Structure 1
Amino acid sequence: MTRDIISLLLIILASHSPLLCEAATLPAFANSSSAIDSQWQTAAGRLASQWRNPNDVLTILMIIGGDVVQKALAQLSGPRFVPVAFSFGWVSYSFSAVFAVFGDGSLMPSPTRSSTLINARSGYRRTNQSWVLDRILRGVESSHESMSAALCVSVYRANPNRQLSSADWLWWSGLLTMLAQFILGVIPLALGKDWTTFLVTMMGTGLALMTGSSTQWQREKWGARIDKGTSTYCLTRGNGFQHAIVVQNTTPGCLNLEDLAMLRKEGCSRGCKGFVAISACLWVLLLISIAGLQHNTWFLLGVGCLGMVQNVCVAAFPRQPDAMGIPLEFVTEISGPKVMPVLQKTELQFPLVGAVLVKIFFNGRLRDDEKRFWEARVIEAESYSQKKEISQGPQNQSRTSVVRPSGTPVRKTGLTDLHKSITTSAPGFLSAMPVRRNTR
């Protein structure tokens, strides 16, 4: 009786409110709880089905993480075989690569932090645009994280017998990850004769290796001239930072780091652009294939997660300079609790190095004793360099080899210009002015 009264009231209210028309057509109120139970069971079934085969999630994951893939490729690129594992993010990266080659023509990423490269002989400064040099400096910084010194100057000697890349643990991690992915892809084939996961894994790995095999990576990564003579370069992030790297090119055949820091973009050839565009199309086809999977998608999700872990490790962890294609031999390290004594000690051991660094770390006024020290050191280094050039003859006057067709020679200045720049740079640079000692 109560149910009939409630139904009658709903019909009366529906005649006055169109919003309740659907409520009047519902079954008896007693059946509403069973309808709710049915809807709950349907929702729970859909959720359980999604967790059994998360095929929609795979499609979404394939289009995120493109920047991680780019940095992993930049780390290991150089030779034609680049073991960056198949993972989520390759589809996103393929479209970013198409935009890059048809835009600014560069596949290499930009440096994550700013730094400055200085030629110790000429005193020229260049803002570093090389991702390789930025990673080398970052590796030195990460190896001295626990150091409490105010300034640490690490001196290295460049080795002309360089390779495109050496196999370290990050390189081998790619091969091990690919092997683990193949094993995971074979499991559905062995259990239920489902070969789709293994096929997608094979296709993704093949496309990843094909994408990383472009010679454009090598041209951008080490696009610099070769030093014909000897040069010394300083790399630092500037005033307020703790580290500076000194690289000595003592023998001919080493890379000109000034050229490398400039990152001269030659652009991609038509073949390279077509190669990148075709790779992007193939990645889209693979994405469509993954979207149609209905069974054993957890195995493919595991394959992608393994690859993503390898990509993140390769992109994040530092590598040794020789693994980056610039082999460096450690010479010495100069550090101390105050910056000025470290620079003076560096200048005494390596002439002109401290003189160019003092302009980076002290771009204001110096004390009288500091002014006399740096003036005397620059004049002494100039005299020594002139005697050395006279004894060596004119055959070593040229510092670098012939410029590439797309480049222009860099104007060189002598030590006299460096001395003049130190003594007549910013107003009051060498004038005496009391400065607090704790800043030095």
Structure 2
Amino acid sequence: MLPEFSIVFRLFSMSPVLLSLPAMPPLFYRLARRQFSPGDPSGEFSDQWTHPSDVFSVLLILGGDVVGRALAQLAGSAVTPVAFSFGWVSFAITAVVSAIGENKLMPLPDCACKVINGRTGYVRDNSSWIIGRIVRDFGSWMDGGRRNGPIRTHLCEMLDLRWEKDKTVMEKKEPGSGRYVARPSQAGLCVSLYKADRARPGYPGYDFAYFIGFATSVLQLGIAAIPCGIFGDWSILLVTASGIVLSFATGSLSQWSKEKWACRRNSEKTVVLTRGNGSQHAIVVIGDGKGLDLEDLAAGPTNVDVSASHLTRIVVILLAAFWILLLITAAGIRQNTWFLLSIGGIGILQNIFVAGWRRFPEAFGVPLIPAGVIGKPKVMDTLFAVERAYPGLGRSMLDTFFPGKLRPDEQKKWDDPAELARSLEAS
């Protein structure tokens, strides 16, 4: 309170007029005597940004889903290099709930798709992380990463045919309007065929996404060593090293591999992977006695007894306890906390990169050999062409891409083998 204001207030409060008035409430005196310090918030902000406290411990409980997806991407071998980062404590608690309540660790796929049996036509909703990523990333690996591969070239031809047809229709309606028709972004159905090569269950995919985890951990340790070497502050190095050990230990559990490849091997089945009715692509995988049973794999861990064992549950609980202890320890660091935040930021960037990285099927132990492509500007014509090349395969996809009632002429073609043969010859 300013001295001048204090003197005036005391004189005013001791005047006879004021003393004759009823007593004022205590709130008035508290307001009159309050400290008015507009400079305090700026000082607090400055201290927080100079030595941010408790921020790292809060960030450790955010972003657990990113950590789970990164682990699902790289899990398989004894070493899963997912870097120490924000979100690990949250994931550790979630893993305990999943291991005890759901008997599993693998997250659900982040791409909805269907798996169709090429012989029976039975459709199964996918719950496999591997199949979901194969379908999600198809645009990047379908031609081996080439921009002018056979599938892309065939798809461009389909789009051009559809475009020419649309322009012709518009010209008939109004001469000269065809040039205003935009090139379509989707046309008919493009069926890509692959033969399965020898499957490699447990293969984590030794690619860039895998090895960058080791480089990130080394960089984190290097940053943590700076305050130790300059100021003698070894607390950040201790927290970082402990976090790296715990993150690698969590990813090394064999339960990850059991759930990720929970299916039979050396399958003869032919299956179709697709996002469903209205999608541009359908991926046909011919088992050929070498590949995984993708229909089994689509069912997830429910089709094979790969429930988390008692030992796995105990280990997951112990790891969660260690992560909580690390959280408590990190909350006590008050100096050089920017180093710790940098370490966590680098780690979460690696987690995000790995979780979203587009990988080829062989990185999941499912190598595929291209075997051709079939596609027409109309979906029904594509199914007819597939049926001609692979009897029974086109029919197996019919209910998925045409769930409603067919036109009489279309139904006749599928019901009458002779009529179907004539339509196939015509196409």
Cα separation, partners in 2 of 1:269 and 1:14, compared to 1, 3 Å: farther
Shift in Å at residue 379 of structure 1?
11
Write out per-residue CA displacement over residues 261-313 of structure 1, whole angstroms, 9 at most, x where no aligned residue: 11133321111001101100110111111000011110110000001011011
Kindly indicate whether residue 205 of structure 2 is the aligned counterpart of residue 155 of structure 1: no
Aligned equivalent of 2:298: 261
Contact 1:355/1:378, CA 8 A, preserved across alignment: no
Q: Which residue of 1 aligns with 2:243?
A: 204
* Aligned with 1:62 (options 57, 60, 63): 60
* 1:227–1:255 CA contact under 8 A, matched in 2: yes
* Equivalent position SS for 1:16: coil
Q: 1:238 aligns with which of 276, 280, 286?
A: 276
CA–CA separation in structure 1 for the residues paired with 2:418 and 2:197: 28
Relative distance call for 1:366 and 1:194 in structure 2 (3 A) is same
Name 2:348's counterpart in structure 1: 308
Instruction: Summarize the Cα distance change of 1:289–1:238 in structure 2 as closer, same or farther, 3 Å threshold.
Output: same
Q: Note closer, same or farther for the CA distance 1:16–1:40 as it changes in structure 2 (3 Å cut).
A: closer
Q: Which runs of 5+ in 2 are unaligned?
A: 143-151, 157-184, 422-427
Classify the secondary structure of the residue corresponding to 1:330: strand
Matched residue count:
369
**1:140-181 Cα deviation digits (max 9, x unpaired):** 146689963332222111112425222111112212211211
Change (3 A) 1:101 1:16: same
Aligned CA RMSD, in angstroms, stands at: 2.6
Q: Quick one: distance in 2 between partners of 1:129 and 1:227?
A: 21
Q: Is the 8 A contact 1:117 1:261 kept in 2?
A: yes
Q: Is the 8 A contact 1:188 1:195 kept in 2?
A: yes
Deviates more, 1:167-176 or 1:82-91: 167-176
Distance in 2 between residues matched to 1:52 and 1:99, nearest whole Å: 38
Are the equivalent residues in 2 in contact too, given 1:151–1:337 (CA < 8 A)? yes
Is the 1:130–1:260 contact (alpha carbons within 8 Å) kept by the matching residues of 2? yes
Name the aligned partner's letter for residue 244 of structure 2. T
Once residues 272 and 402 of structure 2 are traced to their aligned partners in structure 1, the CA distance between those partners, rounded to angstroms, is 16
1:40 counterpart SS class: coil
Match of 1:17 in 2: 25
Choose between structure 1 and 2 for higher RCO, CA contacts under 8 A separated by at least 6 residues.
Answer: 2
Does structure 2 retain, via aligned residues, the 8 Å contact 1:10–1:23?
no
Query: Any conservation in 2 of the 1:10–1:20 contact (CA below 8 Å)?
Result: no
Instruction: State which drifts further: 123-132 or 369-378.
Output: 369-378
1:52 deviation in Å?
1.4
What code does the residue aligned with 1:327 have? P
Aligned to 2:226: 187
**In structure 2, what is the equivalent of residue 217 of structure 1?**
256
Q: Select 1:282's aligned residue among 317, 322, 325.
A: 322
Deviation for aligned residue 1:130: 1.1
Is the 2:141–2:360 contact (alpha carbons within 8 Å) kept by the matching residues of 1? Answer: no
Separation of aligned partners in 2, 1:353 and 1:6: 95
Query: Are the aligned partners of 2:111 and 2:136 in contact in 1 as well (CA < 8 Å)?
Result: no
User: Matched residue of 2:270: which SS?
Assistant: strand
Q: 2: CA distance between counterparts of 1:57 and 1:167? A: 35
Partner AA of 1:326 in structure 2 = V
Q: Give the match's secondary structure for 2:229.
A: helix
CA contact (8 A) 1:352 1:378 kept: no
Structure 1 counterpart SS, 2:23: helix
Give the counterpart of 1:79 among 68, 73, 77. 77
Q: TM-score, normalised by structure 1?
A: 0.78
Q: 1:194 to 1:367 in 2, by over 3 A?
A: same
Find out whether 1:165 has 2:173 as its counterpart: no
CA distance in 2, matches of 1:141, 1:112: 16
Percent identity over paired residues: 40
Q: Return the match for 2:120 from 115, 119, 122.
A: 122
User: In the alignment, is the contact (CA less than 8 A) between 1:53 and 1:297 conserved in 2?
Assistant: yes
The answer to whether the 8 A contact 1:153-1:243 is kept is yes
Superposed CA offset, 1:364-397 (max 9, x none): 233344334333559999xxxxxxxxxxxxxxxx
Q: Classify 1:183/1:5 alpha carbon distance in 2 versus 1 (closer, same or farther; 3 Å).
A: closer
TM-score, length-normalised on structure 2? Answer: 0.80
Structure 2 counterpart of 1:291, which letter? A
